[in-house]
């Protein structure tokens, strides 16, 4: 087969590709349309876009179709494609307050300016499998949508802009939030772009946020979980979670004025936690809350929440402001090196590649170590034997009468 | 205002390009084209797949690496249609230096026909049209994983090695932030202690591959998972060796005629695994790196293990020289 | 150099002149409102912490100088400065080889990073309060003792092991345990391992940073006995930092008393203990058991 010096390898690779296609199609079921994936699997599409680091719902849906639903594989396809795209421009800084919200909650206060909006969430549904879905038809869909739209029409009020102020803004007004830096256009340093420049550690915060925003939701979840379970000193409260449509603006190439080029759906999370004062701090500096920020393309709450917890943990650790147990989640280099799905899966999977040359080398080293161990064991055995002999002799001598 | 990088203009029609690339990559390969035959390359993508700006960055970083032998140079590794950890560093180096008149060889474990070499070679061919060869002495660029070819390379050839883990200090210091300082200050004592410890535990240096070497007495360098057997070929070589770690985003290099010395003790000198009494069952040579292979038994009989050259093209050449015939499958006894 | 030094030592190997280290930008008021008279290290105006300031002393060949003070006194900072692990904001640190008193002394704080590393490896030996700071617990005891030798370029395993065994005997450790895991050693034994490692390069100066703090009293006594024996046998210059006057009394001929980053008293150890001048020293002496 493959590794003998004939053309078996090439043939094997081609046949493997055919087999993949076969496994995808052999069910002979109705070919899935991109539109269906986009609309009925929107959360998978959102995750693929988020980890593929490319906001392109059709392409994400296509990638999911091609990868037979494998989320990491779909993100991989998007990343590779993204690499080939020309970089046209950077957007103007976007502010989350301008989002048209579909969901907005805060755990910090019961009532917040604008109110709590549950929006489309499964959080308060019992997780029971719904067998009725197996009989879903165009008819049932249309009936549901008609009923729903009637509600919307009868509820319609006049000027619902759909935008709301940020909860953390009211915290700022109440002087509860630690100042980080001022957010005005032109005040911000150019953000670090990890796809254009190699990161070194310690990393600037913009690099950290970028790496996490493209990171694997599962990895971020595990690390955030470890932090809140006790391997960390951050006790967070969810300041605000919002999901909605964010307008994207660029500067007009000629006039320099801002032009809105479209909207993307995003999830944004702001986590607050107590910033512990270290021993040498002035008593006058009153304690404040610190902010952790999380972001995801599309509707990705777990990821945004996990990211905000990690951002807070890393900020606190870097400022030297953790007191209790710390753990890997507060270690910037550890977190940022291990949360990228494409890197992690690529390298973990690379063990499937042939390693027989190095394994042969390992065998030869092992053989030598075995010989060495055998010699050492023989020496040990000899030592024991002599010791036992001596003890036996001593025991004998002691029982002999004087 | 933030300025985007000046960029090569590509076709704006997204769907068409993607379909085309998918079609390209899953198209069947008919015959292995003869070395002289120029392949018509896919014009939908830039020559060498990655855009010119990315190539420029890789080249600049490569020049820096050549100027500081053995030093790890960070670069902004791009996402490619090949998985991280599967050769993207080597690919980016090859893509950045390859020209239409180059002749390319790609091997993995020394074998041209190894499955990943097949995949990488297809991608390079489709996006450059450069002819390929299995003849080490004829190739102008050889991209390799885990082996240095048996036939010594010359000064007009370049060897591009794929690197899974770039920093030789990672055994004693996994944090890049600290290992970078150690390299800057030449603080290599912990690695020497590690070597001492392995002698104490196993009677000899128990590093089987990725053997650490000192380059020009200044930088500690990882030789990639090539066996020890290949480490001596780096010292004072005529050829330029380029190392690319795509996932770890590092490039390093050994320019020609560079002093490369494996770490060793006076009473435990560096030794390769070479056993002169072993020889390849196919070509009879005992002066190449051999690997174990299982041969199926004939007619349902017992199979057995045999040693063959890992460098398959070299092995075939030897057979051709000895017998005048092309290699056949070795039969089980 | 201060004029009221009781003993003028012309044969110094290490000399500190006005060493100062601060955390923060500093301001015009810092020096006037910080220090032992103000009972604080921190400037109320600019929040700068002055870890130590104006530290000057001479360490003679074969002499042991004690540095005593409480937490925040600056004694650890002085140790870090002498060990060249942190830079000084002001001041100088000079070194001379013993016997070469007419030559130009070496300005340690201006050494480049390579020379600094080499100097620290060859001429200095440091023993930390906690063994994990001075040893790598993943390596064998022998590997730890051998680290400075390997750094200095020793490349013969046989010779390295022989030297490491000798060093272990010197500190009363059984050389048969050369290949043992440091986790199997007690606290007192690990301090001896640190001492072996520190001495492996035949350094000119040995730095002992709270080396007996945290050990049981009987173990402390044995380690102190070892150090006294080494003082007598090797005649090596030593800097001993401790908050414990008892330790200082046993080891140091002369002592500096530090408070809030500055020297409040200095002189012969016996004289300071018998007749302390500064109120803080008097407090320390009177509270010694």
Q: What is the 3-state secondary structure (H, E, C) of A92-117?
A: CCCCHHHCEEEEEECCCCCCCCCCCE
Selected residue of A278, A279, A280, A281 to mutate for chain C interface (largest C Cβ count, 10 A): A280
C157 touches chain B (CB under 8 A): yes
Interface of A with B in 36-65 (CB under 8 A): 56, 58-59, 62
Residue A308 vs residue A174, higher pLDDT: A308
Chain B adjacent subunits, 3+ CB pairs under 8 A? A, C
Residue range C70-80, pLDDT digits in tens:
888 899 999 99
pLDDT higher than threshold 60 for residue A185: no
Structure tokens that stand for A225 in this block: 């979980």
Contact criterion met (CB < 8 Å) for A6 and B228: no
* CA dist list (Å): A23 to A16, A20, A27, B27, C121: 11, 5, 8, 18, 64
Beta-bridged to residue A178, according to DSSP, are none
User: Is pLDDT above 90 for C104?
Assistant: no
* Residue B327 pLDDT exceeds 60: no
Q: Tell me which residue has tokens 């390596």.
A: C139
Alpha-helix runs per DSSP H in B98-228: 115-128, 176-185, 189-202
Q: Scanning every residue of chain C, which has its alpha carbon at the shortest distance from the alpha carbon of B263?
A: C155
Q: Are residues C285 and C273 in contact, defined by beta-carbon separation less than 8 angstroms?
A: yes
Mean local confidence (pLDDT), B31-40: 40
Q: Which residues are CB-contacts of B276 (< 8 A; sequence separation ≥ 6)? A: B286, B287
Predicted confidence (pLDDT) at residue C283 exceeds the cutoff of 60: yes
Per-position DSSP letters for chain C, written without gaps between them? --TT-SS--S-EEEEEEEEEEEES---TTHHHH-BTTTTBSB-TTT--EEEEEEEEEEEETT-EEEEE--TTSSHHHHHHHHTTSS--SEEEEEE--TT-TTSPPEEGGG--HHHHHHHHHHHEEEE-SSHHHHS-TTS-HHHHHHHHHHHHT---HHHHHHHHHHHHHHTT--GGGTTS-GGGS-HHHHHHHHHHHHHTT--SEEEEESTTTTS-HHHHHHHHHHHHHHHHHH--EEEEEES-HHHHHHH-SEEEEEETTEEEEEEEHHHHHHS--SHHHHHHHHT--
For residue range A204-250, what is the model confidence (pLDDT) as tens digits?
Answer: 999 999 999 999 999 999 999 999 888 887 789 999 999 999 999 99
Confidence of residue A183 (pLDDT cuts 50, 70, 90): very low
How crowded is residue B302: how many other Cβ atoms within 10 Å of its Cβ? 10
* Cβ–Cβ under 8 Å, residues C90 and C19: yes
Residue A296 has which token pair?
């995801």
Residue A124 at interface with chain B, using a CB cutoff of 8 Å: no
Cβ pair B132, B94 in contact under 8 A: no
Query: Which chain C residues touch B196 with a CB distance below 8 Å?
Result: 142-143, 146, 150, 157, 160
Least confident residue range of A28-32, A193-197, C194-198? A193-197
Residue A132 C-alpha from the chain's centroid: 33
Chains that touch C (3 or more CB pairs under 8 A): A, B
Cβ–Cβ under 8 Å, residues C13 and C105: no
Strand C237-242, strand C64-68: pairing: parallel
**What pLDDT score was predicted for residue A188?**
54
Q: Would you name the residues of B annotated as active-site residues?
A: 70, 280, 283, 309, 315
Bridge-based pairing state of the strands B290-295 and B219-222: unpaired
Q: Do C150 and B267 touch (CB under 8 A)?
A: no
More confident site: B203 or A103? A103
Cα gap B270→C222, rounded to integer Å? 44
pLDDT in the model for residue B328:
52
Would you give the DSSP letter of residue A124? T
Question: pLDDT of C25-50, one tens digit each?
Answer: 888 888 888 888 888 888 888 888 89
Q: How many CB atoms lie within 10 A of CB C266?
A: 22
Q: Do A357 and B84 touch (CB under 8 A)?
A: no
What integer pLDDT is reported at residue C2 of this predicted model?
A: 45
Per residue in C219-237, pLDDT (tens digit) is 999 999 999 999 989 989 9
Q: Please tell me if residue B294 touches chain C, with a CB cutoff of 8 Å.
A: no
Q: Which of A161-175, B6-20, B134-148 has the lowest mean pLDDT?
A: B6-20
pLDDT band at A402 (very low <50, low <70, confident <90, very high): low
Q: Among C113, C150, C156, whose Cβ lies nearest the Cβ of B266?
A: C156
Please state whether beta strands B304-309 and B290-295 pair in parallel, antiparallel, or not at all (unpaired): antiparallel
CA atoms of B180 and B169, how far apart (whole Å): 9
* Three-class secondary structure of residue B141 per DSSP: strand
Select from B189, B197, B264 the Cβ nearest to the Cβ of C151.
B189
What residues of chain B, 284 to 303, have a C-beta less than 8 Å from chain A? 289-293
Cα distance between residue C259 and residue C16, in whole Å: 17
Cα–Cα dist B183/B190, whole Å: 12
Pick the residue with more confidence: A235 or A116?
A116
Distances from the Cα of A70 to the Cα of A64, B83, B84, B329, C218, angstroms: 7, 15, 17, 39, 65
Interatomic CA distance for residues C132 and A62, integer angstroms = 54
Residues of B in contact with A339 (CB under 8 A): none
Task: Give yes or no for B18 touching A (CB within 8 A).
Answer: yes
* Among the ranges given (A325-329, B78-82, C110-114, C211-215), the one the predictor scored with the smallest mean pLDDT: A325-329
The pLDDT value given to residue A200: 87
Q: What is the mean pLDDT of residues B211-234?
A: 95
Could you tell me which residues are beta bridge partners of residue B73? B251
Global pTM exceeds 0.95:
no
Of A245, A244, A224, nearest to A236 by C-alpha is A224
- Contacts of residue B19, defined as CB under 8 A and 6 or more positions apart, other chains included, come to none
Taking an 8 Å cut-off on Cβ atoms, the answer to whether B8 and A86 are in contact is yes
CA R_g for chain A: 30
Residue of A nearest to C72 (CA): A280
Mean pLDDT of A16-32: 95
Q: How far is CA A90 from CA A395, B89, B252, in A?
A: 89, 27, 32
Closest CA to A271 of A177, A363, A348: A177
Q: Give, as one character, the DSSP assignment of residue B265.
A: B
How high is the pLDDT of residue B53?
86
Residues in chain C with CB shorter than 8 Å from the CB of B265 are 155-157
C-alpha to C-alpha distances, C236 to C56, C110, C205, C222, C231, nearest whole angstrom: 20, 25, 6, 19, 6
Question: pLDDT digits over A264-305, tens only?
Answer: 999 999 999 887 654 444 443 567 788 999 999 999 999 999
Give the gap in angstroms from C-alpha A200 to the nearest C-alpha of chain B. Answer: 7
Q: What is the pLDDT of residue C41?
A: 86
What is the spatial distance between Cα B73 and Cα B68, in angstroms, rounded to a whole number?
9
DSSP, res A31: P
Residue C185's φ and ψ, nearest 5 degrees, are -100, 145
How much of chain A exceeds pLDDT 70, in percent?
89
- Cis link prior to A67 (omega < 30° from 0)? no
User: What's the pLDDT tens digit per position in B134-188?
Assistant: 999 999 999 999 999 999 999 999 999 999 999 999 989 999 989 999 999 899 9
pLDDT at A7 over 70: no
Task: Give the side-chain half-sphere CA count within 13 A for A35.
Answer: 0
How close is the nearest chain C Cα to the Cα of A115, in Å? 42
What per-residue confidence (pLDDT) applies to B257? 96
- Proportion of chain C above pLDDT 70, given as a percent: 96
Which helix (H) or strand (E) segment holds residue B160: the answer is: strand B158-162
- Average pLDDT of B191-208? 90
- Let me know: does A219 contact A341? Beta carbons within 8 Å: yes
Mean pLDDT of A53-62: 96
ipTM here: 0.86
Q: Is A2 an 8 Å CB contact of chain B? A: yes
The pLDDT of residue B301 is: 84
A44 and A68 in contact (C-beta within 8 Å)? no
Is residue C222 within 8 Å of C14, Cβ to Cβ?
A: no
Q: And the tokens for B325? A: 């015939």
* Terminal-to-terminal C-alpha distance of chain A: 81
Residue A80 contacts B, CB cutoff 8 Å: yes
Q: Dmax of chain C from CA atoms?
A: 60
What SS3 class is residue A337?
helix
- Categorize the per-residue pLDDT at B322 as very low, low, confident or very high, splitting at 50, 70 and 90: confident
Under the banding of pLDDT at 50, 70 and 90, the label for residue A348 is very high
* Two tokens, residue A98: 């301008």
- Give the number of other CB atoms < 10 A from CB of residue B6: 9
Q: For residue C49, which residues of chain A lie inside 8 Å, CB to CB?
A: 280
């Amino acid at each position: 087969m493959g590794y003998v010096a004939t053309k078996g390898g090439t043939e094997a690779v081609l046949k493997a590709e055919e087999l993949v296609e076969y496994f995808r199609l052999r069910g002979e079921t109705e070919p899935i349309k991109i539109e269906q994936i986009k609309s009925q699997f929107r959360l998978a599409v959102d995750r693929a876009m988020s980890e593929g680091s490319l906001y392109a719902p059709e392409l994400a849906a296509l990638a999911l179709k091609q990868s037979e639903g494998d989320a990491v594989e779909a993100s991989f396809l998007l990343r590779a494609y993204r690499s080939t795209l020309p970089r046209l421009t950077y957007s103007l800084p976007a502010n989350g307050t301008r989002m048209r919200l579909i969901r907005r909650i805060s755990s910090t206060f019961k009532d917040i300016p604008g109110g709590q909006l549950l929006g489309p969430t499964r959080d308060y549904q019992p997780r029971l499998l719904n067998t009725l879905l197996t009989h879903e038809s165009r008819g049932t869909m249309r009936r549901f949508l008609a009923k729903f739209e009637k509600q919307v029409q009868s509820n319609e009020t006049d000027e619902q802009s759909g935008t709301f102020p940020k909860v953390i803004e009211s915290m700022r007004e109440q002087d509860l939030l630690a100042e980080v830096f001022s957010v005005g256009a032109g005040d911000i340093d150019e953000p670090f772009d990890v796809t254009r420049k190699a990161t070194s550690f310690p990393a600037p915060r913009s690099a950290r946020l970028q790496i996490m925003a493209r990171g694997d939701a599962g990895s971020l979840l595990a690390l955030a979980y470890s932090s809140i379970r006790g391997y960390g000193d951050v006790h967070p409260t969810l300041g605000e979670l919002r999901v909605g449509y964010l307008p994207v603006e660029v500067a007009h190439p000629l006039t320099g004025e801002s032009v809105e080029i479209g909207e993307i759906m995003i999830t944004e999370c702001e986590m607050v936690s107590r910033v512990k004062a270290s021993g040498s701090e002035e008593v006058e500096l009153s304690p404040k809350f610190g902010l952790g920020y999380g972001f995801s393309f599309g509707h990705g709450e777990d990821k945004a929440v996990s990211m905000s917890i990690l951002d807070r943990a890393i900020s606190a650790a870097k400022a030297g402001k953790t007191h209790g147990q710390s753990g890997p989640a507060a270690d910037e280099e550890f977190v940022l090196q291990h949360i990228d799905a494409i890197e992690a899966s690529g390298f973990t999977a690379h063990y499937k590649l042939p390693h027989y040359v190095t394994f042969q080398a390992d065998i030869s080293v092992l053989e030598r170590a075995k010989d060495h161990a055998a010699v050492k064991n023989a020496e040990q055995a000899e030592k024991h034997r002599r010791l036992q002999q001596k003890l036996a002799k001593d025991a004998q001598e002691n029982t002999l009468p004087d | 205002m933030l300025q985007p990088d000046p960029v090569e203009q590509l076709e704006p029609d997204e769907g068409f390009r993607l379909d085309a690339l998918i079609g390209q990559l899953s198209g069947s390969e008919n015959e292995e084209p003869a070395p002289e035959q120029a392949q018509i390359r896919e014009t939908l993508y830039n020559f060498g797949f990655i855009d010119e700006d990315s190539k420029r960055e890789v080249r600049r970083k490569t020049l820096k690496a050549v100027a500081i032998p053995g030093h790890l140079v960070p670069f902004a590794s791009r996402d490619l249609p090949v998985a991280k950890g599967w050769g993207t560093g080597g690919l980016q180096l090859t893509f950045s230096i390859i020209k239409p008149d180059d002749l390319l060889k790609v091997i993995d474990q020394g074998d041209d026909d190894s499955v990943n070499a097949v995949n990488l070679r297809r991608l390079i061919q489709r996006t450059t049209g450069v002819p390929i060869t299995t003849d080490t002495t004829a190739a102008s660029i050889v991209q390799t994983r885990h082996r240095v070819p048996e036939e010594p390379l010359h000064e007009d050839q370049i060897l591009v090695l794929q690197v899974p883990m770039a920093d030789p200090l990672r055994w004693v210091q996994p944090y890049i932030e600290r290992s970078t300082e150690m390299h800057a200050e030449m603080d290599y004592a912990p690695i020497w202690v590690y070597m001492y410890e392995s002698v104490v535990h196993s009677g000899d240096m128990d590093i089987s591959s990725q053997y650490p070497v000192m380059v020009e007495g200044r930088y500690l360098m990882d030789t990639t998972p090539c066996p020890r057997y290949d480490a001596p070929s780096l010292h004072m070589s005529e050829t330029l060796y380029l190392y690319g770690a795509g996932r770890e985003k590092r490039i390093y290099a050994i320019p020609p005629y560079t002093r490369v010395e494996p770490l060793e003790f006076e009473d435990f000198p560096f030794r390769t695994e070479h056993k002169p009494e072993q020889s390849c069952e196919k070509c009879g040579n005992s002066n190449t790196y051999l690997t174990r292979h299982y041969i199926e038994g004939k007619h349902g009989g017992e199979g057995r293990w045999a040693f063959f050259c890992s460098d398959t093209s070299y092995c075939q050449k030897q057979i051709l020289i000895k017998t005048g015939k092309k290699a056949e499958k070795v039969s089980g006894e | 150099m201060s004029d009221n030094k009781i003993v003028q030592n012309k044969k110094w190997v290490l000399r500190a002149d006005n060493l100062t280290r601060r955390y923060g930008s500093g301001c015009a008021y810092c020096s006037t409102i910080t220090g032992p008279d103000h009972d604080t290290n921190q400037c109320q105006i600019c929040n700068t912490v002055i870890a130590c300031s104006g530290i000057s002393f001479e360490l003679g060949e074969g002499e042991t100088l004690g540095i005593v003070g409480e937490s925040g006194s600056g004694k650890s900072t002085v140790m870090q400065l002498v060990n060249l692990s942190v830079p000084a904001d002001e001041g100088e640190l000079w070194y001379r080889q013993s016997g070469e008193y007419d030559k130009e002394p070496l300005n340690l704080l201006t050494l480049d990073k390579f020379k600094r590393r080499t100097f620290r490896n060859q001429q200095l030996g440091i023993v930390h309060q906690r063994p994990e700071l001075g040893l790598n617990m993943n390596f064998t005891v022998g590997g730890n003792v051998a680290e400075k030798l390997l750094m200095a370029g020793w490349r013969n395993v046989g010779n390295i092991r022989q030297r490491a065994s000798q060093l272990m005997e010197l500190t009363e450790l059984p050389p048969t345990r050369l290949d043992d895991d440091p986790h199997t050693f007690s606290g007192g034994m690990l301090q001896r391992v640190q001492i072996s490692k520190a001495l492996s390069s035949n350094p000119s100066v040995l730095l002992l940073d709270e080396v007996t703090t945290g050990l049981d009293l009987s173990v402390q006594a044995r380690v102190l006995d070892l150090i006294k024996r080494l003082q007598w046998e090797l005649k090596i210059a030593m800097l001993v930092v401790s908050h414990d006057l008892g330790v200082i009394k046993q080891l140091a001929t002369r002592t500096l008393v530090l408070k809030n980053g500055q020297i409040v008293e200095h002189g012969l150890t016996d004289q300071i203990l018998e007749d302390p001048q500064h109120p803080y020293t008097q407090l320390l002496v009177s509270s010694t058991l």
